[in-house]
Structure 1
Amino acid sequence: MATLLSLSSGFKGDIRLRVVWLMVLLLILHPVLAYWSGHAQDVLPQLTMIAVQGTAVWCVFTRYQRSPPLIRLPWLLLALAALMQVLWAIINLLTTILGDKGGYLTAIGIVFSALYMIPCMFMITRSFGQHEPRSIAMLDLTLSCVVAVLLYRFITQLASGPLASDPSSIYLVIHHADAVDFSLSAMVILRMFGARSFRWRFFYYAASTYLLANAIVAYIYNRLELRGLPWWIGSMVDISYALLMLVTLRQPPRWLRAYHPTLSVSQTIASFAPMILSMMVVMLGISMSRISFLAGLVTACASVLFYGLRVAVIQSQHMDMQRAVDQSAWRLEQQVGRDPLTGIANRAALDTRLHEALEDGRRSGGYCSLLMIDIDFFKQYNDSLGHVAGDACLVKVACALSSSQLRPGDLVARYGGEEFVVVLANTPVETALEVARRLMASIERLQIVHASCPQGRITVSIGIGTQTANMRADALTLLEEADRALYAAKSSGRNCVVVASETTRTLPSSSGEWKANDGASI
């Protein structure tokens, strides 16, 4: 296996070496042919330049094939951007061979040269993340198509229409191209410094190298073209493609791997990047206003509208994500505070709510009552019918308790085993007794058969503890009061309610000497 890998690596290295030598040969051959013919736009020099460009495009496409799936699309967009320039060179070659009386081929070539900005804008504005909505990509694609149509109309009318004889129209196209080229290169450099992944930094490094060199070359080329192209101008066009091939094939520089932007810097740059697309359209609208004020106004308005829609979609997505996070947090809180078997509140939720109710009672001078409920002879029920039936019984009892007519601030919780607790905030003992009777009636209506119970069905015993002015306002004390009263109810024969009396409050909770008259039996 290691031998195969080494052979594969050697084969790839051999191909790269051959491509480099081919590029070096073409870079030498191009100026030689141009000097020999004496003109940069002769057929042979143009064919050589197309070969240089095609070799660079092939290198980028090879990088696209070797890249991970997430970053493949950006490399493909970079290859398409370079391919647009190849099409421009092919149109120029056809113009040389076939002629161009109406100037339409020249205009189409300029359009192809300018259309490279569309894949560039895509690789600048998009985040290429899985969380990015498809609607954002569709908006960007639609706006890019609008840019392509307007760009074609703008350039063809200036290059072959009645305005073609006006030098200011030509300079308008040149200045527009300069603004687009340098804006794209600046934004790609910015994205490079905002990328947190090394693979993305390397991609933007390759793209910025090509776009910056292309912007500088185009700046010089367009101005020299007005005075007549010198024989060596084609070799200058080769520079950006030679650099693109060199960056694509070579190992990335060390500083690119060592550089790591902060999260805030990365997020800020990624949020600012989509503005470049709208800026391009606004610039195009300003240029279009020279030909047609209405078309320029519509173009500028479309830019604002599309950017607004983009922001609205992103904000809507963030709101949906925040809503989902909030809902998940709420569900987690509910799960943390819920008993997994019965679905009612668990001990943790009981402690929190009881503490709050006692504090409210202490501040307001009201009373908090606590009902401690125990299923009578539940061990015998479990032993005779099994734990599955016992769990089903607990669920039914919990459902009956929680579905009783309690107030929103009251809480039904499972205390442990077959014991349940009901917290009644701001409730005096008389009202707590009425609630206890109502809960006992709810359990009786279940009619759960229990052969070991004297009544022949499931019943419950309830102990009531109530906060008083002389009582410490802590949960443990009130729980002990209710537990003593529950013990008294079970000692009184079960299926009854006992209220903790003043005498029972002085007895220890571990006392086993409870009588029926230790509390008030109902």
Structure 2
Amino acid sequence: MNRTLKPIHFVLFAALYLGLQSICIALFPTHAMGVSYPFMILAPWLALAVCWRVGRAGAVRTRLLWTLLCAALAIWGVGILFAAWEDLLQHSALIGADFSDFLFFVYGMPVLLAISSPTEGERDSLFVWLDAISVLMTAFLAYVAIFSVLPFAHRAGHSLSESRLLVTYNVESFALAGAATLRLLAYTNDGEERRFYQILCGYLWIYGLLTALYNHVTVATNEQTGQYDLLTILPFVFLTLGAVYLFGRPARGEERVQSFRRKPLTLFIDNASPIFFTVALLALGAALVRQHFYIGMSGIVVALVVYGIRATLLQSRYMQAQQELQDARDKMEAMSLTDSLTEIANRRSFDHSLEVEWRRAVRRRSPLSLLMIDVDFFKKLNDRYGHPYGDDCLIQIAQALQSALPRTADLLARYGGEEFAVILSATDAHGADIVARRMREVIQALNLKNESPIGEFVTISIGVVTYMFPTEGTSATFLRAADEALYLAKRNGRDRIEYASSDVPAQIG
């Protein structure tokens, strides 16, 4: 029978685990180190198993975060194994740094990588490589800083003193906790990423405080083990319980989606988080410059180069995104000015163009012509043959009218329904008449079926208005005159062209 473990079960197990360790240390005080190390070794691996399980069950974009945390726990787990080997088998004295101390320091690298990694969208492989270079360089510099010798060198180095090593641990622990706290501020909604950083912040602060207390007690008492060994286990207990509690409850759909609407402060923190690794590399490199000049300078150079490449890529992609956004806006603007059926200009485009051309004609004192076109008896065509046929007719009519325009600068627009409008800039009455007659001819040549009182095929009525050097009136009166001419063509029998007089604005106005 499959039974689901509840958070209370893990709380009871943690209490039993800590209690059992405390009892074993109390019962075997002379062998406290031997009985305490198994509990200290097992704790990070149990936390790793729970975090791995939680990460696999979470959203795809949070899996990398949990994987990095699991990598940190694995490094810490290997470090405690080396510490046990050094203390129990080699009986190392607390006079300097051992290899386990290096692992305890390097364990923070995956944590820092989790804090500095972007957690939204797809992660670019080049950024992953840059982060990997930063991790390797940081680990290399940390090794040199701790042991004062190159890795795998066949000569003895001078490791950090115990006091400086403890200060280094404390600085690293609280720096990670502070960075994780800043990272948490970038999340405002209760999503999986925010909950991950809640757990990580709590764990890092508890780890920093308790390990600082543990190290202080170790130095003060000059003992290597005792009941205070429980302090090294408590952070992993919190991590395990936090992961189980926050991710054990069923997540609502909206909680699994991180909001993209953020305040400027949270956006700044989110985008500035990748600089954490650069700062770490610069700090380590600067610390090594005096004793190991070339190694320290190499760390500084790598930090600046990696940051420069990252900044350049981000800037170029920002510019590309801006260009794509502008292209999308232009496309949307073009779509908003285009009739979806006929793919010619729509009413909005016509109104804007008419106003522009009217002002230009007034400013230049040049002629301007306007044609209003109506498809005769189009409602009967729709009723008799159906709307699909009517739509197809409108498409063919629009294409034919477009072909009759003499210049690309002339505008053909669908004014509404079966009505079209044509703006002819710098065109006098004679030129407008030529265009109107040409349009009637191309429509007649289509031979589109439409039985009506005036014939068997589709015809059009056209109203034409032309102003020579307009000095009064407005574009609205200009349009009204063209409507009057079209109305006159329809009233006089359709399938014809009628013209408005040039003084219509003065009469109407």
Give the equivalent residue in structure 1 for 2:177. Answer: 185
> Within 5 Å, which residues of 2 pair with 1:168-247?
175-198=167-190, 199-219=192-212, 228-232=222-226, 234-245=229-240, 247=242
Distance 1:370 1:82, change over 3 A: same
Are residues 1:23 and 2:20 paired? no
Task: Give the residue type in structure 2 aligned to 1:110.
Answer: D
Task: Give the residue type in structure 1 aligned to 2:15.
Answer: W
> Within 5 Å, which residues of 2 pair with 1:442-521?
443=443, 447-448=446-447, 460-467=460-467, 469=470, 472-475=473-476, 477-489=477-489, 497-501=497-501
Give the equivalent residue in structure 1 for 2:342. Answer: 342
Are residues 1:82 and 2:73 paired? yes
Distance 1:396 1:62, change over 3 A: closer
Q: Specify which of 92, 109, 114 is matched with residue 100 of structure 2.
A: 109
Distance 1:290 1:176, change over 3 A: farther
| Cα distance in 2 for residues equivalent to 1:268 and 1:51 | 40
Distance 1:376 1:238, change over 3 A: closer
| Cα distance in 1 for residues equivalent to 2:336 and 2:350 | 12
| Cα distance in 2 for residues equivalent to 1:297 and 1:63 | 41
Ranges in structure 1 where 5+ consecutive residues have no aligned partner:
509-522
Kept after mapping to 2: 8 A contact 1:486/1:498: yes
> Within 5 Å, which residues of 2 pair with 1:132-151?
132-151=123-142
**Which deviations, in whole Å up to 9, do the C-alpha atoms of 1:70-117 show, x marking residues without a partner?**
43443343333233222111111222454389x9x9744233222212
Are residues 1:358 and 2:358 paired? yes
Q: CA shift at 1:344, angstroms? A: 1.0
SS in 1 for 2:340: coil
Distance 1:324 1:427, change over 3 A: same
SS in 2 for 1:90: helix
Distance 1:502 1:192, change over 3 A: closer
Kept after mapping to 2: 8 A contact 1:154/1:288: yes
Give the equivalent residue in structure 2 for 1:303. Answer: 303
Percent of aligned positions with the same letter in both sequences?
25
Kept after mapping to 1: 8 A contact 2:143/2:150: no
Are residues 1:91 and 2:82 paired? yes
Q: CA shift at 1:496, angstroms? A: 5.3
Distance 1:361 1:457, change over 3 A: same
SS in 1 for 2:412: strand
SS in 1 for 2:6: helix
TM, length-normalised to structure 1: 0.77
| Cα distance in 2 for residues equivalent to 1:274 and 1:362 | 59
SS in 2 for 1:240: helix
Distance 1:406 1:46, change over 3 A: farther
**Which deviations, in whole Å up to 9, do the C-alpha atoms of 1:105-138 show, x marking residues without a partner?**
9744233222212221222112322355444334
Kept after mapping to 2: 8 A contact 1:339/1:345: yes
Q: CA shift at 1:319, angstroms? A: 3.9
Q: CA shift at 1:158, angstroms? A: 4.2
> Within 5 Å, which residues of 2 pair with 1:41-440?
42-61=33-52, 63-64=54-55, 67-99=58-90, 107-152=98-143, 154-158=145-149, 164-165=157-158, 175-198=167-190, 199-219=192-212, 228-232=222-226, 234-245=229-240, 247-248=242-243, 263-290=263-290, 292-375=292-375, 387-405=387-405, 407=407, 409-440=409-440
Kept after mapping to 2: 8 A contact 1:45/1:234: yes
Task: Give the residue type in structure 2 aligned to 1:313.
Answer: L
| Cα distance in 1 for residues equivalent to 2:363 and 2:218 | 88
SS in 1 for 2:185: helix
Ranges in structure 2 where 5+ consecutive residues have no aligned partner:
248-254
